[in-house]
Amino acid sequence: MDVVRATYEIETALPLEATVATIAGEQSTGTFVAVRGETERLTARHAATVESIDELPPSGRPPLPGASGDWSVARRARVRIAFPLHNFGASLPNLLAAVAGNLFELREVGALRLIDLDLPMAFADAYPGPGFGVQGTRKLVGRESGPLIGTIVKPSIGLSADELAALVREIVEAGIDFIKDDELQGSAPCLPLAERVRAVMSVLKPYADRTGRMPMYAFNITDDISRLAANHDLVLEAGGSCVMVCVNLVGLAGVHYLRERSELPIHGHRAMFGAFSRSPQLGIGFTAFQKLARLAGVDHLHTNGIANKFYESDEQVLASIEAVRRPFLGGYHILPVLSSGQSAGLAHATYAATGTEDLLVLAGGGIHGHPHGSAAGVRSMREAWAAAIEGESLDARAARVPELAAAIDKFGRR
């Protein structure tokens, strides 16, 4: 019998084993009173089963609201529960009903977090996942090795089409690999997608004609589901090579819907991820989330980078990058996207910690805010990464490359 194994961290003031049994019951055959029809046959075929309970030290945090029991005796544990696949089938939305569903609302727990999911191959049969992945993206970009260096259009809101074109021109002339719209820039009436596509492609196409290489521009096509296909087609027909969606805003199901219709790589932004992940007591952790996003079909997924401006520690970021790079169901190779507060001075530390060149490193302010302009910002990133990969120290390279020295001076280093 195929099963889905879900790993949770929970904390409870009630008897631990009974609480874990409640969780398994709530999400399979249980209800709050014994009801007729709930026979042994049914339980044997359909009940979720508790596979392990590994106790952890109590968190010391006050419980989430509504938790039952005397919290001074709370116990915390990592638990693993197996759910029969035939209860819900290889369907991402219905998988979530089983492994997440109402669990977060149980008063039996004062903390409950979905940490990881082990999925049977039936999900690989149902979900093709990334259509391009690491190698497909490299091929489209025309960069076989080294990290892909990218940037975000900033300011994210308010540029005219001409200003956007001028900005893109400056950056592509500096040899960038990748540019993305901001997550705020989906359907802005102040610069609609069709106009962005026209403005950007009016720069990229002549550049590609001249150089034989077209930087990838991820157009943010996030919108109502009914517009996703048309938005995608707009980009495709204009000769664009990537679309971006905010995974949590169109939903995992929305990403999969796009994937079924997409002929371009899908750049997955994780906006709103923090809403269900920043609390250590609640929600869904990145390790579980990224598997769902890969199944849904993203080719790139945001992980943040080290020394980012958001809340995540370097340790968390590095764990996220590692999770995204780990093969899953025999493949689903996608590019982790390192962003937020990234700049040239982080290249050596990032390379040392991740040990890979298969990264998409985005610097927004770290490129546009470079004291010598965006082109110098791109060069600082490229040189820093080349040095890191070649084994040359940041200082040594900076002594030879003034754009790098200026970047370190302005944005710092690790």
Q: Which of residues 78-97 bind its own copies (CB under 8 A)?
A: 85-89, 91-94, 96-97
Q: Is 252 in the site for its own copies (CB under 8 A)?
A: yes
56 versus 225: smaller Cβ distance to its own copies? 225
146 versus 251: smaller Cβ distance to its own copies? 251
Q: Is 254 in the site for its own copies (CB under 8 A)?
A: yes
Q: Is 282 in the site for its own copies (CB under 8 A)?
A: yes
Q: Is 186 in the site for its own copies (CB under 8 A)?
A: yes
Structure tokens at 295: 């199944």
Among 313, 326, 400, 409, binds its own copies (CB under 8 A): 313
Residue 374: partners with Cβ closer than 8 Å, 6 or more residues away: 151, 167, 170, 171, 174, 367, 368
Among 13, 98, 203, 218, binds its own copies (CB under 8 A): 98
Q: Is 224 in the site for its own copies (CB under 8 A)?
A: yes
As a whole number of angstroms, the distance between CA 238 and CA 5 comes to 44
Minimum CB separation of residue 154 from its own copies in Å reads 5
CA angle centred on 83, ends 258 and 95, rounded to 5° = 15
72 versus 102: smaller Cβ distance to its own copies? 102
- Residue 72 CB-density burial (10 A; 0-12 exposed, 13-18 middle, 19+ buried): exposed
Structure tokens at 410: 């302005």
Among 9, 11, 223, 403, binds its own copies (CB under 8 A): 223
Residues 327-366 that bind its own copies (CB under 8 A): 341, 364-365
Residue 238: partners with Cβ closer than 8 Å, 6 or more residues away: 197, 198, 201
Task: Count Cβ neighbours within 10 Å for each residue of 317-353 and write b for 16 or more, e otherwise.
Answer: bbbbbbbbbeebbeebbbbbbbbbbbbbbbbbbbbeb
As a whole number of angstroms, the distance between CA 35 and CA 171 comes to 66
How far CA 35 is from CA of 40, 102, 108, 355, in Å, comes to: 12, 20, 21, 55
Select the span of 10-18, 49-57, 236-244, 306-314 touching its own copies (CB under 8 A): 306-314
141 versus 258: smaller Cβ distance to its own copies? 258
Q: Is 281 in the site for its own copies (CB under 8 A)?
A: yes
Residues 142-161 that bind its own copies (CB under 8 A): 154-159
CB atoms near residue 76 (< 10 Å):
20
158 versus 239: smaller Cβ distance to its own copies? 158
Count of residues interacting with its own copies (CB under 8 A) = 99
Q: Is 262 in the site for its own copies (CB under 8 A)?
A: no
45 versus 400: smaller Cβ distance to its own copies? 45
113 versus 397: smaller Cβ distance to its own copies? 113
CA angle centred on 18, ends 14 and 23, rounded to 5° = 100
Minimum CB separation of residue 5 from its own copies in Å reads 17
Minimum CB separation of residue 95 from its own copies in Å reads 9
Residues 24-53 that bind its own copies (CB under 8 A): 27-38, 42-43, 45-46
- Residue 75 CB-density burial (10 A; 0-12 exposed, 13-18 middle, 19+ buried): middle
Minimum CB separation of residue 144 from its own copies in Å reads 31
Helix (H) or strand (E) holding 202: helix 193-211
Among 135, 139, 311, 399, binds its own copies (CB under 8 A): 311
